[in-house]
Structure 1
């Protein structure tokens, strides 16, 4: 088997299974581990896969930090549908936390005044949007302002959360990995999100399907701590099935 044929079969296997392992490819093609590693290196240089710990996956799972102004232009239609579905979960007298990110900002735009609704948020943009409704009691977390996300983080914000309890947390994330869990690109934001989870009875994650199989720098929590994920129809079937197996309520819009 020549190198061109091997590369075609590697990419075909990658598409079908979602990953390939160096040792398994070596046995299957009856070539050395060195040869397979060279094959994968060449394919990675062509941006056709990403090598990681003795295997390869379709794309680089690690996320670079972008400003909220850039993020809001990514998958806007999907975020709009997710936001509408999230707003439909609100009930009279809910006391909710809205974290930060473009998905939750879009969610805020779809929130209508509901009897007794109280909102605490880390997002400055969310607070401004909801402040237009006199019927909604809006609380802004204090702390250090992250310019990239237009939100607050830090010990002041985390301490404030210990004084309250909430019915729901609406959380935006940068990555969802079924093994590693929920992540964000900021360690300080991840720390604040952990405190939000402790303060809320139900954890609802708003994430478009591009966030799956991605990882940010800071780990927020495992999938087992999530109650409900609202995403779009781009989610792949294997991920969908696995989330249902793990007991996560899944809404696909």
Structure 2
């Protein structure tokens, strides 16, 4: 590729990252009809220019670390990976009788897989998750009160936090916008971070579940450390060597 073509390609990558919040190496290689190594070099150039920040398998805009995709977009991205993550995470439920399910599409998929052979109380801030499982005969669904965020269809605010402070929850399934060994788990919005913090404090056990593109990314509000979790469930896009580094911080790491 000529220098002009490389510049045009990098411009397109940056535009897409700013529009969607992140780009994936494999997808961009297909879209632009170049080798993945070429996209990785482009990402390196953009990172050195301070325009992107690299993650495993992709990158996100440096000036948009607080970018948050809406639920409608999340329901179309990496769906096979998310289904595998949910199917693996549900195996960790053990004998829990009360479970917190975080906002987001992967947690929603998880909730639909909960066992139907025994009673289970599900606490969630997600309207979508509550609607998806409310008709399950063995599930009691408790929806946290508060202001509903249009982007994620989840409740936030003092009412949600106050409700969580009154609970003792056996197991919390938590997601995030970013997770890194240096900065822990982060999310763009302080009110969302507050709900996650209260859910973690109320839970006896904690499991993080998220796509590999979340690893190495960071956002504005830190709400947990990697060592706060007993397990991390992600896909095989996270290299085994990096998974091992996370496991050294405490949690068992599952790659599916």
| TM-score, L = length of structure 2 | 0.75
Aligned to 1:48: 45
Corresponding residue of 2:99: 96
Aligned to 2:85: 82
Ranges in structure 1 where 5+ consecutive residues have no aligned partner: 5-42
Tell me how large the CA RMSD over aligned residues is: 2.4
- Hey, what's the Cα distance between the residues in 2 that align with 1:134 and 1:117? 10
Is this contact kept in 1: 2:96–2:171, CA < 8 A?
A: no
1:185 matched to 2:188? The reply is: yes
Cα distance in structure 2, aligned partners of 1:188 and 1:159? 13
Relative to the length of structure 1, the TM-score reads 0.76
User: Could you tell me which of 189, 197, 201 is aligned with 1:198?
Assistant: 201
Structure 1 position 107 matched with structure 2 position 104: no
- Cα deviation digits, residues 185-217 of structure 1 (max 9, x gap): 221101110000000011101101111011122
Give 1:116 shift.
Answer: 2.5
Match 1:131 to one of 131, 134, 158 = 134
> How far 1:45 moved relative to its partner?
8.8
Aligned: 1:149 with 2:152: yes
Q: Provide the C-alpha distance between the structure 2 equivalents of 1:93 and 1:216, rounded to a whole number of angstroms.
A: 31
Q: CA deviation at 1:155?
A: 0.6
Task: State how 1:1-253 maps to structure 2 within 5 Å.
Answer: 48-51=45-48, 59-60=59-60, 62-253=65-256
Q: Structure 2: which 5+ runs fail to align?
A: 4-39
Q: Secondary structure of 2:137's match?
A: coil
How far 1:52 moved relative to its partner?
8.7
How many residue pairs align between the two structures? Answer: 210
Stretch moving more, 209-218 or 198-207 = 209-218
Alignment partners' CA distance in 2, 1:101 and 1:46? 27
Partner-residue secondary structure (3-state), 2:163: helix
After the TM superposition, which of the residue ranges 151-160 and 82-91 deviates more from structure 2?
A: 82-91
